[in-house]
Amino acid sequence: MKIGRRKREEAEVESSSLNDIMFFLLLFFLIASTLANPNVIKVMLPQAKTTSTVSPKSIPLTVRRDPANPESLQVFIEQQEVSYEELEKRLKELRDQFQDPNSKDAGLVVVLRADAKAYVQDLVDVMQVGANLGIKMVLATEKNQK
């Protein structure tokens, strides 16, 4: 009688599903990273040597020239377009919303995001509206890569 050895089966780890899991994780992080800053209108900011951050009660205000009509000014509060005529009314509403009753400080900082191709007079006009309302306005820039 022939007595033979039993064949031992080696333990194996199935890794075919790991590819699917890695793909879904990659897809999730790509989508999540694009949604990280939804209240931004794409403009080319001017460059500066240093940058700083502002208080948490900040609202972006974007000023740019209309690409279709360069003579037309576009003003956006967050992502909502506002005409220049109603800008003062909207900023006053926002100032009153963030007003601290214990302080005469407006409690609101408007981050002025101006397109690099916008006219200086446009920026001065918008900043004058904020100054008349007592709102702090900060000009946003990109850090110079040099």
Where do the domains of the chain lie, and which CATH numbers do they carry?
Answer: 47-143 (3.30.420.270)
Distant-in-sequence, close-in-space partners of 53: CB < 8 Å, separation ≥ 6: none
Least confident of 11-20, 101-110, 134-143: 101-110
Residue 56 pLDDT more than 60? no
Question: What gap in Å lies between CA 123 and CA 118, rounded to an integer?
Answer: 8
Q: Please tell me the predicted confidence (pLDDT) of residue 100.
A: 64
Q: Of 94, 92, 89, 64, which Cα lies nearest the Cα of 76?
A: 64
Three-state secondary structure call for residue 34: helix
Rg of the chain, C-alpha, whole Å: 27
Per-residue burial over 75-87, b if 16 or more Cβ lie within 10 Å, else e, is bbbeeeebeeeeb
pLDDT of amino acid 54? 46
- Model's pTM, two decimal places? 0.58
Tokens of 134: 């007592």
Say if residues 88 and 133 touch (Cβ distance below 8 Å).
Answer: yes
CA 131 – CA 50 distance, rounded (Å) = 24
* Mean pLDDT confidence for 68-74: 81
Average pLDDT for the chain: 80
Report the length, in residues, of the chain: 146
Q: What is the pLDDT confidence band of residue 65, given thresholds at 50, 70 and 90?
A: confident
pLDDT higher than threshold 80 for residue 82: yes
